[in-house]
Amino acid sequence: SDKSIALSNNYAGNSWRQAMLESWQKVTAQAVEEGVVSAADAFTTAENQATEQAAQIQNMILQGYDAIVINSASPTALNGAVKEACDAGIVVVSFDGIVTEPCAWRIAVDFQEMGRQQVEYLASRLPEGGNLLEIRGLAGVFVDDEIHAGIAAGVQEHPDFKVAAAVNGDWAQDVAQKAVAGVLPSLPDIAGVVTQGGDGYGAAQAFAASGRDMPIIVMGNRHDEMEWWKQAHEENGYETVSLSIAPGVSTLAFWVAQQVLDGADVPKDLTVPFLKVTQEDLEEVLASTQAGGVANVEYTLDDAKAVISDAAQ
Amino acid sequence: MSRPDASAAHPPHRHGDKPVTSLLSILRKPWLWAFIAAGAAFVATAAVTQAGGWGLGMTALTFAAFSVLVGIGQMFVITLGPGNVDLSIPATMTLAGTLALKAMAGDPAMIPVGLAIALASGLAVGVVNYGLIRLLSIPPIIATLSASFLIQSAAIWSNRGLRVKPPQALADFATGRALGVPNVAVVALLVAVLAWVVLERALAGRRVLAIGQNMRAARLAGVPVDAVRFATYVSCAVLAGLAGFLLASFSGGAALNMGAEYLLMSIAVVVIGGSSIAGGNSNVPGIWGASLFMFLIVSMLNSYGAGAGVRMILTGVIIIAIVAAAGGRKVSR
Amino acid sequence: MNRDQLRILLPVVSLAVLLGAVFWLQPRAMSYLGLNLLFNLAVPIALATIAQMLIIMVNDLDLSIGTFVSFVACVTATLVQTDPVLGYLVLAAGIAGYAAMGALIHLRNLPAIVVTLGMSFVWGGLAVLILPSPGGASPEWLRSLMTVKPPLVPMAIVASVVIAVAAHLLVRRSAFGVVLRGVGGNAASVERAGWSVLKAKAAAYALAGFFGTLSGMALVGLTTAADANIALRYTLLSIAGVILGGGEFTGGRVSPVGAVIGALTLALAGSFLSFMRLSPDWQIGAQGAILILVLAVRLLVSRGRGRRVAA
Amino acid sequence: MSDQTDTTPVVALENARKLFGAVRALDGVTLAIAPGECLGLVGHNGAGKSTLVNLVNGGLNLTEGTIRLGAGTASPETSIAAARAAGVRCVFQELSLCPNLTVTENVRIPHRGLTGRGWRRRARAIVAEKLAEIFPGHAIDPGAAVGALSIAERQMVEIAIAFSVFDEPPRLVILDEPTSSLDAGLAEQLLAHVRRFCAAGGAVIFISHMLGEILDIASRIVVMKDGRITEERARGGFDRQGLVDAMGHVAAEGAEDPRAAARSLEGAEVVISTPGGLTARRGEIVGLAGLGGHGQAEALEQICLARSSSWKGTRSPKVAFVAGDRARDGLFPIWSILRNATLSRLPALTRRGLVDRAAEEEMAAEWRRRIGIRTDDMDNPILSLSGGNQQKVLFARALGTSAPVVLMDDPMRGVDVGTKRDVYDMIRAEAAGGRTFIWYSTETEEVCQCDRVYVFRLGRIAAELTGAEITEENILAASFEMEAAE
Ligand SMILES: Nc1ncnc2c1ncn2[C@@H]1O[C@H](COP(=O)(O)OP(=O)(O)OP(=O)(O)O)[C@@H](O)[C@H]1O
Ligand SMILES: Nc1ncnc2c1ncn2[C@@H]1O[C@H](COP(=O)(O)OP(=O)(O)OP(=O)(O)O)[C@@H](O)[C@H]1O
Ligand SMILES: [Mg+2]
Ligand SMILES: [Mg+2]
């Protein structure tokens, strides 16, 4: 068809986003070649800022794209720009970082559930509970607040656990490691560490450096985390769980946009499961993950149709 | 940028009560306040630690070391006078870490090559930065900001954010200790001593200080202004490269967003450490004090369970309090 | 041509060239709607740039303007909405905070860059406390003000002109503005003429706080909601805008009209890049390249003129 | 203006004392200035003249003693506002306009009441009128930024603003070295205006190191030394030599007439030759003359920049530079005197990149002695020195190098007579030893000491004078020559 789709991305500074862009590139290139759409361009702003992204969306309106796929810097701050796009007759699909503007489609990850499940897993491993260390993301950002709320809910369900300390790791490995190392000396025994993704390896390093017992650290699907986990398992039977959203969800968003343009009846709210790695499938996932990258799943048109029809029911 | 009325900008200082005791003269050192603040934060944190202060102290030394490395480079740049600052430090750290770790690919034999690559990428960044500043007459703050975008793109392009593990020997060095002191702290200490000698005893340092106060006068007095400024920007970038190399080795691989926090950190440690931001007056021990403080204040607030909002507010208030207590510009020597 | 004319001519030329390039790449931008889309998000940037300019005017630099605008945005999207009296009081307190910051900097002879760095943590913390998770809503009147469609000329252009003219009258034409600029030029002589430099600095900072507040409110009017990190980038953007607009870091040499044009130029540079459809790897780098390009234009024009000793 | 019979002093100081730490800048001064009086104030560099100005102006408070403004009461404290209300106006030694503002806008700074609609128009009228009155034929555009004016023009603007009438008319105008950057013609215009002002009942304190001016203009001359008034006589009570003696410098025999015979150095090697047509030989003292702001300073700057590198430092520089505009071209304001003095010499005092601090201190001590820098400790901040002493430090910096050519950009600004003589002698001795000096001066007397003189006009060399041609008349003629032709 002659329809064109644009990806508006607000940040490219970590491995997750890079994997996301790469999946987009891979899947859309083929779709363009097959003539499913005429163009699928990706745009990234220099810094993780809603204002810049809003301007970017306004430019896309001017450029005349038929659909805009957004990973948003903020669930609400883009609403003005998104509304303008809708008013111009453009299909807007948001994913990962979703927008609340009603005219847009949302492919949401249940981040709360992601936080809750971490505590649930810890409860299954440590029935008598214990102290938790929470590593949070960037203060004031939606994802951080959601996962934190989920963890808080989990702790409420399992009152034997207590969050002994919470630090902000800003979703950056070095910041997380530093924050954990700084707070560790003042903490009692820690039984588990709940994280937001990608901070597990840094936390493990900090614990190793402090000479404490290694707690159960919930991982975030990064290759280095899973490799460390595998090694620890081989050495001393260390077990944990790893969860994160798959960067390939950008390709799902692409297909959803394509389907809407195609006239398909797609519900406004779709949910994708997050990618969970357990001890059983660790080896397998690790083998399929690019060294230094993130565990990933890419979507085909049929996968997307399945997700849509599931949601419609 | 020559200052039109330097004498007006710097009211003369009252002097005269010359026979001061050495204690008093120490009390007047601007860097003292940074150490006092760091000490207070340390005591407050150590009070709630189970294991006592030793572990905390060593951790603080480790992480302060990275701030010290970038802070020293930034200090030399800031000393060059109003408007001089290097905003490309984080990007340089990322690029140096990424290229070096990719080149080493985990092979211990390649460590020297990796180090050379990290330093060389710093060198290249410094050359680009000064080129923009000098040849295109772009104000440093914007030149280095623009360069940082280019550098970041280069880092993305070179490895797409994939995390390569450092060679084990290098990782062991970066996380290890010599005689109980973290290796990275030893490196930073050596760099600090060198910087101190350059600034206080060497011709080069004197020239940097002169340019910072009055670039035009310095040029007319025979100071090779371009050479000195060039060398300063290059050293800053090379130090950032070294810091990026060590940080990547320390934390198990280079990440695209590593070093992001060192943008404000590098400036903060310079000014909290007692250097005059107006240029022409800087001091090395203060960088250590301020770096320790910046780490310990976060640890302290985390240990007392402050949330992100409260923590930020208190950090800000304490920074201002320190600078206000240390008072305004001092006359050197 | 004298220095002052040159100072304002350069930004105008860069803006015109960039605008021409954008129209060439994307003819659709050459319309009422197009211009509004290109420039409406530049309005809050322009206001923040004026705030930064007022600080630079008195020889200081404000590293907190981005977090301050974010803070204002959070207050506007929450308190002003739910409890207007308290909301406006908080905003007024923010401006008072700016004035106090200026007074402290002068009284203790502190480097502004550190104090504002410290304040940036304070504003950021307050913003996170007020709005831990993105959200809130724009007051209705603000939303309609920012999206009003005046005849012939789009709102974004009207607003930019109004800001530029108001700031120009205040800073360049009024008797009060002269004293403020005098503080930047030679504080000692202003003091010797019997003025209180303390009051002047506090006033300059308060004005900066006022424009920062307007910036945050305008931003919320456009985005309809806020978060604690919404305008962090304004700090660097505003500095770049002032310089692009022909301002200098020292000596009280600033141009309000230039600053607004500088802000528009920056906003336009981003659009220009979008229209170029670069490879994602280099999109970030291109933003740096375009900044360099625009600033290098200054050199072409200024090269031939006057003596430049090592400066 | 007030009626002639009113003899209440405009300002009266009683036993005024001002200490800066241990420095006694003023040490018990009693002084009253009556309306219609022109008080000439002289004294060596650091005698306390500028400090006195700042006390009267309200910028500094007394450590001891009292001050009384007009018919007010004597009190140990004043304020800038009180002094202004009493009609005290100041032209400070260091220029104190805002370079970023236009001439018109600078009028607004001292005149607080100048607000409201049309203030610009009024300000413009005020300054334009005064400029025309004091310096007829001037070419200053009130709309121009002060930073774009030459140093002489800035001084003219500052003087005009000080004499301008708005709200309160000026009753006492203090001029601290107002002529140091004016050429002879402008200085004469200023003196004429001062005479008119005093005749109309205004009071003036006139501070200058140009004793001729003082003898010419002052109705009473006060000599200060080390913070005290040592002599005070009415007009005619001093002759030139008497004044010099009173200031405490023993004028060396024969140095009375600064004009030494010009030497001819035809055979000597040419060390400087510029495209602009300026040549200088080894051991020669070359003078640059002409009206202020006609390209002399630029020519010096070009020579300096062309013969030094901004990429390579050297132990043996080809040129050294003595700045006249100290704040802009010379001083490192937060450094000590020592560091300011040694900077240019430093490469030669460096071993393996490290500064030999003992050698540095030795050099500083030597120059402190040779050129008589008045300070108790070379580690004191440079800004604690009086203006003239700061200038001496800049001399020490340049003369302390091994440079074969020394460029001097009107370097005697604010230097007292005694020191001037010492410096003249030093220059002659160095020239005899083979050093070349290129010397721009606004004082014709100084230019006349040179071996060869270039007169500048409109940025170009208008005439070259040698030997007996070097006379005041010839220089003046050449300065105006092309104007006549145009
Ligand atoms: N700086 C950021 N701003 C906004 N959202 C972010 C940011 N960083 C990551 N996210 C979001 O957080 C979620 C998980 O990604 P994550 O933060 O784990 O990546 P990361 O840990 O920074 O990557 P890595 O450390 O492997 O480079 C995603 O939804 C992602 O979009
Ligand atoms: N702010 C200050 N701090 C310390 N000492 C000062 C200060 N101001 C002046 N002095 C000292 O006071 C003395 C008198 O200085 P003053 O400026 O009044 O001299 P002056 O007579 O004007 O000299 P000149 O002719 O060189 O201008 C000098 O020794 C000077 O060093
Ligand atoms: Mg004086
Ligand atoms: Mg003097």
Contact C223 A79 (CB under 8 A): yes
Mean per-residue pLDDT of chain D: 86
Q: Are C14 and C272 in contact (CB under 8 A)?
A: no
Contact B9 C310 (CB under 8 A): no
Q: Are A5 and A40 in contact (CB under 8 A)?
A: yes
* pLDDT tens sequence across B245-275: 999 999 888 888 888 889 888 988 988 887 6
**Buried-state track A63-97, b at ≥16 Cβ within 10 A, e below 16:** bebbbbbbbbbbbbbbbbbbbbbbeeebbbbbbbb
Q: Do domains D11-251 and D254-485 have the same CATH topology?
A: yes
Q: Are B132 and B146 in contact (CB under 8 A)?
A: yes
- Compute the distance between CA of residue D254 and CA of residue D252 in angstroms, rounded to an integer: 6
- Ligand having the closest approach to the CA of D393: 2
Chain B hits for A196, Cβ within 8 Å: none
The pLDDT value recorded for residue B205 is 92
CATH 1.10.3470 fits B31-332, yes or no: yes
The pLDDT value recorded for residue D248 is 66
Contact C291 B142 (CB under 8 A): yes
- Bridge partners for A238 per DSSP: none
A11 C-beta closer than 6 A to ligand 1: yes
The pLDDT value recorded for residue A162 is 92
- Bridge partners for D220 per DSSP: D39, D234
- Picking from C235, C245, C76, the residue whose alpha carbon sits closest to that of residue C164 is C245
- Compute the distance between CA of residue B243 and CA of residue C88 in angstroms, rounded to an integer: 46
* pLDDT tens sequence across D336-387: 999 999 999 999 999 998 999 999 999 999 999 988 888 888 999 998 888 8
Q: Are A224 and A292 in contact (CB under 8 A)?
A: yes
A245 C-beta closer than 6 A to ligand 1: yes
- Compute the distance between CA of residue D422 and CA of residue D257 in angstroms, rounded to an integer: 13
* pLDDT tens sequence across A164-173: 989 988 887 7
Ligand 2 neighbours by CB, cut-off 6 Å: B 12, 14; D 20, 23, 25, 43, 45-51, 93, 374, 384-389, 414, 416
Confidence of residue B22 (pLDDT cuts 50, 70, 90): low
A171 C-beta closer than 6 A to ligand 1: yes
Q: Are B88 and B148 in contact (CB under 8 A)?
A: yes
Percent of chain C at pLDDT > 70 equals: 93
Contact C243 B3 (CB under 8 A): no
Counting ligand 2 atoms within 8 A of each CB, the residue from D179, D211, D384, D423 with the most, and so the one to mutate, is D384
Q: Are D297 and B171 in contact (CB under 8 A)?
A: no
The pLDDT value recorded for residue D446 is 84
A12 C-beta closer than 6 A to ligand 1: no
The pLDDT value recorded for residue A278 is 92
**Buried-state track A266-293, b at ≥16 Cβ within 10 A, e below 16:** beeebebebbbbeeeebeebbeebeebb
Q: Is the pLDDT of residue A184 over 50?
A: yes
The pLDDT value recorded for residue C298 is 66
- Compute the distance between CA of residue B30 and CA of residue D447 in angstroms, rounded to an integer: 48
In the CATH scheme, what architecture does the domain D254-485 have? 3-Layer(aba) Sandwich (3.40)
Chain C hits for A25, Cβ within 8 Å: 280
Question: Could you give the 3-state DSSP secondary structure of residue B82?
Answer: coil
Contact D57 C194 (CB under 8 A): no
Which amino acid is residue A248, in one-letter code?
G
- The full set of domain ranges for chain D reads 11-251, 254-485
* pLDDT tens sequence across C76-123: 999 998 899 999 999 999 999 999 999 999 998 888 888 998 999 999
The pLDDT value recorded for residue B51 is 67
* pLDDT tens sequence across D175-226: 988 887 788 889 999 999 999 999 999 999 999 888 888 898 999 999 988 8
Q: Which of C225, C228, C270 sits opposite A76 (nearest CB)?
A: C225
- ipTM surpasses 0.85: no
Q: Closest residue (by CA) to atom 24 of ligand 2?
A: D45
* pLDDT tens sequence across B305-329: 888 899 899 989 988 888 887 765 4
Q: Which A-chain residues 47-76 have CB contacts (< 8 A) with chain C?
A: 47-52, 54-56, 58-64, 74-76
Q: How many contacts does A have with C, using Cβ atoms within 8 A?
A: 126
The pLDDT value recorded for residue B121 is 96
* pLDDT tens sequence across D259-289: 455 666 777 788 888 888 899 999 999 999 8
Say if D339 is an interface residue toward chain B (CB within 8 Å). Answer: yes
CA distance C290 to chain B (A): 8
Residue C62 phi/psi, 5° resolution? -105, 110
The pLDDT value recorded for residue B99 is 95
- Compute the distance between CA of residue D286 and CA of residue D301 in angstroms, rounded to an integer: 15
CA of D226 to the centre of ligand 2 (A): 10
- Both tokens assigned to B21: 């005791």
A21 C-beta closer than 6 A to ligand 1: no
H/E stretch holding D176 reads strand D172-176
How is residue D367 annotated by DSSP?
H
Superfamily of segment(s) D11-251: P-loop containing nucleotide triphosphate hydrolases (3.40.50.300)
Q: Which domains does chain C have, with CATH numbers?
A: 3-303 (1.10.3470)
Q: Are C183 and C252 in contact (CB under 8 A)?
A: yes
CA of D113 to the centre of ligand 3 (A): 30
A197 C-beta closer than 6 A to ligand 1: yes
Contact B149 C126 (CB under 8 A): no
- Residues 6 or more apart whose CB falls under 8 angstroms from that of C2 comprise D144, D145, D148
- Both tokens assigned to D319: 């040129």
What are the DSSP calls for A71-84, one per residue?
Answer: E-S-TTTTHHHHHH
The pLDDT value recorded for residue C207 is 97
Q: Which of C37, C128, C284 to mutate to test the interface with A (most CBs of A within 10 A)?
A: C37
Q: Which residue stretches of chain D have pLDDT < 70?
A: 1-6, 248-264, 480-486
Chain C hits for D91, Cβ within 8 Å: none
Q: Are C273 and C287 in contact (CB under 8 A)?
A: yes
The pLDDT value recorded for residue D3 is 46
Residue with tokens 């969800």: A249
- Residues 6 or more apart whose CB falls under 8 angstroms from that of C232 comprise A47, A49, C66, C67, C70
> Is residue B285 classed exposed, middle or buried when 0-12, 13-18 and 19+ CB atoms within 10 A define those classes?
middle
Contact C189 D109 (CB under 8 A): yes
Chain A hits for C222, Cβ within 8 Å: 54, 80
- Compute the distance between CA of residue D371 and CA of residue A119 in angstroms, rounded to an integer: 81
* pLDDT tens sequence across B26-71: 666 667 888 888 999 898 888 887 766 788 888 899 999 999 999 9
> What is the arrangement of strands in the sheet containing D23-33, beginning at the earlier edge strand?
D23-33, D11-20, D64-69
Atom of ligand 2 nearest to the CA of D414: 25
CA of D66 to the centre of ligand 2 (A): 20
The pLDDT value recorded for residue A125 is 92
The pLDDT value recorded for residue B325 is 77
- Compute the distance between CA of residue A119 and CA of residue A154 in angstroms, rounded to an integer: 5
Contact C225 A77 (CB under 8 A): yes
Q: How many contacts does A have with B, using Cβ atoms within 8 A?
A: 134
pTM of the model: 0.86
CA of A171 to the centre of ligand 1 (A): 6
- Bridge partners for A67 per DSSP: A5, A91
The pLDDT value recorded for residue B15 is 41
> What is the arrangement of strands in the sheet containing D203-207, beginning at the earlier edge strand?
D88-91, D172-176, D203-207, D38-43, D220-225, D228-234
Contact D57 C310 (CB under 8 A): no
- Residues 6 or more apart whose CB falls under 8 angstroms from that of C212 comprise C47, C48, C51, C65, C68, C69, C72, C94, C98
Percent of chain A at pLDDT > 70 equals: 100
Q: How remote is the C-alpha of A168 from its chain's centroid? A: 17
The pLDDT value recorded for residue D251 is 42
Atom of ligand 2 nearest to the CA of D374: 29
CA of D107 to the centre of ligand 3 (A): 24
Residue D357 phi/psi, 5° resolution? -70, -30
Q: Which residue stretches of chain C have pLDDT < 50?
A: 1, 304-311
